[in-house]
Amino acid sequence: MEVTDSLNFGHKDRKDIYEYIESHGTVREDEVRRALNFDPAALGAHLTILRRDGYIRKVGKHVEVAYAPEKEQTVELGDLDVTIRMAQNVDLESLVDAIHEVADEGRYIEAETVADVLDHEEVVLRHNEVSSRMVFVATVEDELAGWVHLDLPEAEKLSHTAVLTVGTRPEYRGHGIGSRLLDTGVEWARDHGFEKLYNSVPATNETAIEFLEGHGWETEAVRENHYKIDGEYVDEVMMAVSLR
Protein backbone atom coordinates (compact mmCIF):
# COMPACT_ATOMS: atom_id res chain seq x y z
CA MET A 1 0.00 0.00 0.00
CA GLU A 2 1.21 3.48 -0.90
CA VAL A 3 0.83 6.34 1.58
CA THR A 4 -1.16 8.11 -1.13
CA ASP A 5 -3.70 5.31 -1.66
CA SER A 6 -7.32 5.92 -0.75
CA LEU A 7 -8.62 4.06 2.29
CA ASN A 8 -11.82 2.04 2.02
CA PHE A 9 -12.34 -0.71 4.60
CA GLY A 10 -15.97 -1.60 4.00
CA HIS A 11 -16.54 -2.30 7.69
CA LYS A 12 -16.23 -0.14 10.81
CA ASP A 13 -14.42 -2.85 12.79
CA ARG A 14 -11.75 -3.19 10.10
CA LYS A 15 -11.36 0.58 10.04
CA ASP A 16 -10.87 0.61 13.83
CA ILE A 17 -8.30 -2.21 13.63
CA TYR A 18 -6.35 -0.49 10.86
CA GLU A 19 -6.34 2.84 12.69
CA TYR A 20 -5.04 1.21 15.87
CA ILE A 21 -2.23 -0.56 14.00
CA GLU A 22 -1.43 2.54 11.94
CA SER A 23 -1.11 4.73 15.02
CA HIS A 24 1.11 2.25 16.89
CA GLY A 25 3.49 1.09 14.18
CA THR A 26 4.12 -2.59 14.88
CA VAL A 27 1.91 -4.32 17.47
CA ARG A 28 1.13 -7.84 18.66
CA GLU A 29 -2.16 -9.31 17.53
CA ASP A 30 -3.17 -10.01 21.13
CA GLU A 31 -2.55 -6.33 21.98
CA VAL A 32 -4.95 -5.29 19.22
CA ARG A 33 -7.52 -7.79 20.50
CA ARG A 34 -7.29 -6.54 24.10
CA ALA A 35 -7.22 -2.86 23.18
CA LEU A 36 -10.29 -3.09 20.96
CA ASN A 37 -12.05 -5.85 22.92
CA PHE A 38 -12.43 -8.25 19.98
CA ASP A 39 -13.35 -11.90 20.02
CA PRO A 40 -10.24 -13.80 18.76
CA ALA A 41 -12.14 -15.38 15.86
CA ALA A 42 -13.65 -12.08 14.75
CA LEU A 43 -10.29 -10.32 14.94
CA GLY A 44 -8.67 -13.10 12.94
CA ALA A 45 -11.28 -12.78 10.21
CA HIS A 46 -10.86 -9.01 9.98
CA LEU A 47 -7.05 -9.27 9.94
CA THR A 48 -7.25 -11.80 7.13
CA ILE A 49 -9.33 -9.40 5.03
CA LEU A 50 -7.04 -6.46 5.81
CA ARG A 51 -4.04 -8.54 4.73
CA ARG A 52 -5.84 -9.68 1.59
CA ASP A 53 -6.64 -6.08 0.68
CA GLY A 54 -3.03 -5.00 1.20
CA TYR A 55 -3.56 -2.79 4.25
CA ILE A 56 -1.51 -4.75 6.78
CA ARG A 57 1.01 -7.57 6.92
CA LYS A 58 1.93 -10.11 9.55
CA VAL A 59 5.46 -10.22 10.97
CA GLY A 60 5.68 -13.16 13.35
CA LYS A 61 3.17 -12.50 16.12
CA HIS A 62 3.03 -8.83 15.16
CA VAL A 63 1.07 -6.88 12.57
CA GLU A 64 1.97 -3.63 10.86
CA VAL A 65 0.78 -1.43 8.01
CA ALA A 66 1.87 -2.93 4.68
CA TYR A 67 3.59 0.09 3.18
CA ALA A 68 4.96 -0.65 -0.26
CA PRO A 69 8.78 -0.74 -0.12
CA GLU A 70 10.58 2.06 -1.92
CA LYS A 71 13.73 1.52 -3.95
CA GLU A 72 16.89 1.60 -1.85
CA GLN A 73 20.04 3.07 -3.36
CA THR A 74 23.65 3.18 -2.25
CA VAL A 75 25.82 5.89 -3.79
CA GLU A 76 29.44 6.87 -3.39
CA LEU A 77 29.72 10.50 -2.34
CA GLY A 78 33.37 11.41 -2.00
CA ASP A 79 34.83 9.01 0.54
CA LEU A 80 31.42 7.94 1.88
CA ASP A 81 29.14 5.10 0.85
CA VAL A 82 25.68 6.52 1.49
CA THR A 83 22.49 4.46 1.50
CA ILE A 84 19.20 6.27 0.94
CA ARG A 85 16.07 4.30 1.82
CA MET A 86 12.56 4.58 3.15
CA ALA A 87 12.60 5.08 6.91
CA GLN A 88 11.33 2.36 9.24
CA ASN A 89 10.11 2.32 12.82
CA VAL A 90 13.51 1.03 13.97
CA ASP A 91 14.94 4.38 12.81
CA LEU A 92 12.66 6.41 15.08
CA GLU A 93 15.11 7.26 17.88
CA SER A 94 18.01 8.05 15.55
CA LEU A 95 15.72 10.04 13.26
CA VAL A 96 14.36 12.20 16.07
CA ASP A 97 17.88 12.77 17.41
CA ALA A 98 19.15 13.79 13.96
CA ILE A 99 16.30 16.22 13.32
CA HIS A 100 16.67 17.77 16.77
CA GLU A 101 20.42 18.11 16.23
CA VAL A 102 19.78 20.16 13.10
CA ALA A 103 16.82 22.08 14.54
CA ASP A 104 18.68 22.91 17.75
CA GLU A 105 21.02 25.08 15.71
CA GLY A 106 18.08 27.49 15.92
CA ARG A 107 17.51 27.93 12.23
CA TYR A 108 14.99 25.29 11.16
CA ILE A 109 11.73 25.69 13.02
CA GLU A 110 9.63 23.40 10.80
CA ALA A 111 12.12 20.57 11.35
CA GLU A 112 11.81 21.06 15.10
CA THR A 113 8.06 20.60 14.78
CA VAL A 114 8.57 17.42 12.74
CA ALA A 115 10.88 15.99 15.42
CA ASP A 116 8.39 16.79 18.18
CA VAL A 117 5.54 15.10 16.29
CA LEU A 118 7.60 11.98 15.58
CA ASP A 119 8.73 11.80 19.18
CA HIS A 120 5.19 12.22 20.47
CA GLU A 121 3.53 9.75 18.09
CA GLU A 122 6.39 7.21 18.17
CA VAL A 123 5.59 6.15 14.61
CA VAL A 124 7.68 7.05 11.54
CA LEU A 125 5.36 6.59 8.56
CA ARG A 126 1.68 7.53 8.74
CA HIS A 127 -1.32 7.08 6.46
CA ASN A 128 -4.80 7.81 7.74
CA GLU A 129 -7.84 9.87 6.80
CA VAL A 130 -6.45 13.04 8.39
CA SER A 131 -2.80 13.16 7.34
CA SER A 132 0.01 11.06 5.98
CA ARG A 133 3.79 11.29 5.82
CA MET A 134 6.68 9.73 3.98
CA VAL A 135 10.24 9.78 5.30
CA PHE A 136 13.51 8.78 3.67
CA VAL A 137 16.82 8.55 5.53
CA ALA A 138 20.46 8.55 4.51
CA THR A 139 22.77 6.22 6.43
CA VAL A 140 26.53 5.85 6.51
CA GLU A 141 27.72 2.54 7.97
CA ASP A 142 24.31 2.17 9.67
CA GLU A 143 24.51 5.63 11.26
CA LEU A 144 21.71 7.98 10.30
CA ALA A 145 23.26 10.95 8.50
CA GLY A 146 20.21 12.85 7.28
CA TRP A 147 16.53 12.75 6.36
CA VAL A 148 13.85 14.10 4.06
CA HIS A 149 10.30 14.30 5.40
CA LEU A 150 7.13 14.87 3.39
CA ASP A 151 3.96 15.97 5.17
CA LEU A 152 1.04 14.93 2.94
CA PRO A 153 -2.31 16.59 3.71
CA GLU A 154 -5.43 14.50 3.13
CA ALA A 155 -7.74 17.49 2.65
CA GLU A 156 -8.90 17.40 -0.97
CA LYS A 157 -8.20 21.08 -1.59
CA LEU A 158 -4.57 20.64 -0.45
CA SER A 159 -3.91 17.11 -1.69
CA HIS A 160 -1.84 18.34 -4.65
CA THR A 161 0.70 19.94 -2.28
CA ALA A 162 3.11 18.71 0.38
CA VAL A 163 5.48 20.24 2.89
CA LEU A 164 9.07 19.03 2.71
CA THR A 165 11.81 19.27 5.30
CA VAL A 166 15.33 18.01 4.74
CA GLY A 167 18.51 18.06 6.77
CA THR A 168 21.95 16.57 7.25
CA ARG A 169 23.77 16.14 10.55
CA PRO A 170 26.71 18.58 10.82
CA GLU A 171 29.46 15.95 10.62
CA TYR A 172 28.11 14.66 7.29
CA ARG A 173 27.73 17.96 5.49
CA GLY A 174 29.76 18.85 2.43
CA HIS A 175 29.40 15.46 0.73
CA GLY A 176 26.21 16.09 -1.23
CA ILE A 177 23.98 14.01 1.04
CA GLY A 178 21.46 16.81 1.45
CA SER A 179 21.15 17.21 -2.32
CA ARG A 180 20.56 13.48 -2.76
CA LEU A 181 17.89 13.47 -0.06
CA LEU A 182 16.18 16.53 -1.51
CA ASP A 183 16.17 14.98 -4.99
CA THR A 184 14.74 11.76 -3.53
CA GLY A 185 11.89 13.61 -1.84
CA VAL A 186 11.11 15.72 -4.89
CA GLU A 187 11.17 12.73 -7.25
CA TRP A 188 8.93 10.70 -4.95
CA ALA A 189 6.41 13.55 -4.73
CA ARG A 190 6.40 14.06 -8.50
CA ASP A 191 5.98 10.32 -9.14
CA HIS A 192 2.97 10.27 -6.80
CA GLY A 193 1.13 13.12 -8.49
CA PHE A 194 1.99 16.07 -6.27
CA GLU A 195 2.19 19.42 -8.03
CA LYS A 196 3.96 21.66 -5.55
CA LEU A 197 6.23 21.41 -2.52
CA TYR A 198 6.74 23.95 0.24
CA ASN A 199 9.48 24.55 2.80
CA SER A 200 9.74 27.46 5.21
CA VAL A 201 12.90 28.66 6.98
CA PRO A 202 13.91 31.71 9.01
CA ALA A 203 15.43 34.51 6.93
CA THR A 204 18.61 34.15 9.01
CA ASN A 205 19.16 30.65 7.60
CA GLU A 206 20.88 31.92 4.47
CA THR A 207 22.59 28.58 3.88
CA ALA A 208 19.25 26.75 3.61
CA ILE A 209 17.77 29.42 1.35
CA GLU A 210 20.78 29.27 -0.99
CA PHE A 211 20.65 25.47 -0.95
CA LEU A 212 17.00 25.39 -1.99
CA GLU A 213 17.46 28.13 -4.58
CA GLY A 214 20.31 26.08 -6.06
CA HIS A 215 17.83 23.26 -6.60
CA GLY A 216 15.19 25.39 -8.33
CA TRP A 217 13.11 26.52 -5.35
CA GLU A 218 11.83 30.08 -5.24
CA THR A 219 10.68 32.44 -2.50
CA GLU A 220 6.90 32.59 -2.68
CA ALA A 221 6.20 34.80 0.33
CA VAL A 222 7.81 36.40 3.38
CA ARG A 223 6.04 36.69 6.73
CA GLU A 224 7.63 39.51 8.66
CA ASN A 225 8.68 38.88 12.27
CA HIS A 226 7.06 35.44 12.23
CA TYR A 227 9.71 33.82 14.43
CA LYS A 228 11.29 34.95 17.65
CA ILE A 229 14.76 33.42 17.94
CA ASP A 230 17.02 34.26 20.89
CA GLY A 231 14.83 37.23 21.67
CA GLU A 232 15.00 38.66 18.13
CA TYR A 233 12.15 38.80 15.63
CA VAL A 234 13.00 37.00 12.39
CA ASP A 235 11.12 36.83 9.09
CA GLU A 236 9.86 33.52 7.73
CA VAL A 237 10.84 32.81 4.13
CA MET A 238 8.22 30.57 2.49
CA MET A 239 9.82 28.71 -0.40
CA ALA A 240 8.22 26.50 -3.01
CA VAL A 241 8.99 24.44 -6.10
CA SER A 242 6.59 23.44 -8.86
CA LEU A 243 6.69 19.80 -9.95
CA ARG A 244 4.64 20.23 -13.13
pLDDT of residue 156: 64
State how far the alpha carbon of 213 is from the alpha carbons of 60, 98, 116, 196, 235, in Å.
Answer: 47, 24, 27, 15, 17
Distance of CA 151 to the CA centre of its chain: 6
Q: Is the pLDDT of residue 244 over 90?
A: no
Mean pLDDT, range 12-36, rounded to an integer: 96
pLDDT of residue 106: 64
> pLDDT grade, residue 227 (50/70/90)?
confident
pLDDT of residue 158: 60
Q: Is the pLDDT of residue 166 over 80?
A: yes
> pLDDT grade, residue 155 (50/70/90)?
low
> pLDDT grade, residue 132 (50/70/90)?
very high
> pLDDT grade, residue 230 (50/70/90)?
confident
Higher pLDDT, 160 or 158: 160
CATH fold match for the domains 10-63 and 71-240: no
Q: Is the pLDDT of residue 131 over 90?
A: no
Nearest to 139, CA basis, from 96, 181, 180, 84: 84
Average pLDDT score over the chain: 93
User: Cα separation of 207 and 170, whole Å?
Assistant: 13
State how far the alpha carbon of 81 is from the alpha carbons of 21, 75, 160, 168, in Å.
Answer: 34, 6, 34, 15
pLDDT of residue 219: 97
Q: Is the pLDDT of residue 210 over 60?
A: yes
Q: Is the pLDDT of residue 111 over 60?
A: yes
pTM over 0.75: yes
CATH (residue range 10-63): 1.10.10
How does DSSP assign 66-93, residue by residue?
Answer: -PPPPPPEEEEETTEEEEEEE--GGGHH
Q: Where are the domains of the chain?
A: 10-63, 71-240
Mean pLDDT, range 38-65, rounded to an integer: 95
- 71-240 maps to CATH 3.40.630.30: yes
Higher pLDDT, 154 or 51: 51
Q: Is the pLDDT of residue 192 over 70?
A: yes
pLDDT of residue 157: 56
H or E segment and range at residue 111: helix 109-121
pLDDT in tens, 114-127: 999 999 999 999 99
Mean pLDDT, range 17-41, rounded to an integer: 96
